[in-house]
């Protein structure tokens, strides 16, 4: 752990505690979010508990990504607050936040001709200064992040030459190199085929199980969300409709209410999680 992250965590004596005694890492308190005049999310509360993988689901335009952006201090709430370890995230120095919380925007863009090594190394930015751009710690963290995502041998390849799955792993690798124990991923599986979607989500699962990372991600695929997340947050029109364990959230009435979808929910024969089989839209 880097000194920065350590102090950031040690300071938060007032970090709130969830119902079962688990620490609340991120908390949204009555937030209103929007762009200009348009309000997308209003009066929303959410707790993200230490060591969980939370998936936010909901129909297009329900405010999932907006919520995630607010949790990652990319969007400032017009009302209410986002708390990181009990402190208002907007009042913390953004560089300090970056040592605790990493995020991967939806469809991030890399400059043309950039190599994978340089991309992943950029994740060390919060730990660097203009005169200290490639310390021993940086190099170790980057080498490990590359190894973790299995792209060490691609380090010298330009990012724009990679396949979709490789590229997504490179970006996740960058977020890893940042060395934060909180990760926000906005639709990390977009544009990937099923095998690559599973590959990326397995990576997330390993991060959680082996590294104890806390992950919040926006996902479109309900079945994958149910399998790889241990908490689901279902949103509709800027409100949270249901949250909890996948089996409690993915129900036939909820699918009807949130997605307007007639579906049967059966048990996934592989993972034992709920599996949605669509019947049709009403």
Residues 33 to 92 in contact with other proteins, rule: CB under 8 A:
35, 50, 69, 72-74
Kindly state the DSSP code that residue 70 receives in the 8-state scheme.
H
Site size for other proteins (CB under 8 A): 71
Distance CA 171, CA 106 (A): 11
Q: Which of residues 125-144 bind other proteins (CB under 8 A)?
A: 125-126, 128-144
Residue 257 sits in the site that holds other proteins (CB under 8 A)? no
Q: Which of residues 156-175 bind other proteins (CB under 8 A)?
A: 156, 175
**In the chain, where does DSSP find H-type helix?**
3-11, 64-71, 94-97, 116-122, 136-148, 164-177, 194-211, 222-228, 246-249, 252-259
**H/E segment holding residue 40:** strand 38-49
- Residue with smaller CB distance to other proteins, 199 or 268: 199
Identify the residue among 32, 115, 190, 257 touching other proteins (CB under 8 A). Answer: 115
> Segment contacting other proteins (CB under 8 A): 26-34, 98-106, 187-195, 268-276?
98-106
- Residue with smaller CB distance to other proteins, 25 or 227: 25
Q: Please state the closest distance from residue 94 (CB atom) to other proteins, in A.
A: 5
Q: Please state the closest distance from residue 272 (CB atom) to other proteins, in A.
A: 23
Strands 24-35 and 38-49: antiparallel
Residue 96 sits in the site that holds other proteins (CB under 8 A)? yes
Distance CA 142, CA 164 (A): 21
Q: Which of residues 185-214 bind other proteins (CB under 8 A)?
A: 206, 210-213
Q: Please state the closest distance from residue 2 (CB atom) to other proteins, in A.
A: 5
What are the helix and strand counts (H, E) for the chain?
A: 10, 12
Q: Please state the closest distance from residue 150 (CB atom) to other proteins, in A.
A: 6
- Residue with smaller CB distance to other proteins, 81 or 125: 125
Burial tier of 105 (Cβ tally within 10 Å: 0-12, 13-18, 19+): middle
- Residue with smaller CB distance to other proteins, 71 or 249: 71
The closest of 32, 43, 24 to 83, measured between CA atoms, is 24
> Segment contacting other proteins (CB under 8 A): 11-19, 79-87, 101-109, 225-233?
101-109
Q: How many residues does the chain have?
A: 282
Strands 101-104 and 182-186: parallel
């Amino acid at each position: 752990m880097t000194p920065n992250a350590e102090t950031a965590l040690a300071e938060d004596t007032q970090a709130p505690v969830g119902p079962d005694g688990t620490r609340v890492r991120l908390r949204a308190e009555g937030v209103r979010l929007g762009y200009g005049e348009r309000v997308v999310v209003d009066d929303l509360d959410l707790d993200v508990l230490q060591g969980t993988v939370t998936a936010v689901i909901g129909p297009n335009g329900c405010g999932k990504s907006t919520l995630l952006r607010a949790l990652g201090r990319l969007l400032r709430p017009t009302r209410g607050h986002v708390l990181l370890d009990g402190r208002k995230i907007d009042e913390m120095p953004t560089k300090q936040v970056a040592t605790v919380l990493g995020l991967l925007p939806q469809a991030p863009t890399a400059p043309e001709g950039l190599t994978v090594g340089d991309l992943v190394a950029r994740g060390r930015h919060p730990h660097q200064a203009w005169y200290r751009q490639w310390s021993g710690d940086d190099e170790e963290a980057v080498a490990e992040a590359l190894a973790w995502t299995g792209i060490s041998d691609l380090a010298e390849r330009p990012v724009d030459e990679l396949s979709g799955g490789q590229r997504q792993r490179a970006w996740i690798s960058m977020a890893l190199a940042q060395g934060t124990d909180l990760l926000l991923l906005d639709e990390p599986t977009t544009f990937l085929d099923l095998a690559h979607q599973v590959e990326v989500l397995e990576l997330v699962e390993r991060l959680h199980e082996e590294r104890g990372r806390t992950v919040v991600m926006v996902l479109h695929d309900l079945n994958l969300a149910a399998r790889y997340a241990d908490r689901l947050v279902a949103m509709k029109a800027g409100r949270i409709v249901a949250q909890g364990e996948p089996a409690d959230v993915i129900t036939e009435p909820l699918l009807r209410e949130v997605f307007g979808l007639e579906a049967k929910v059966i048990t996934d024969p592989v993972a034992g999680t709920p599996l949605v089989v669509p019947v049709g839209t009403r």
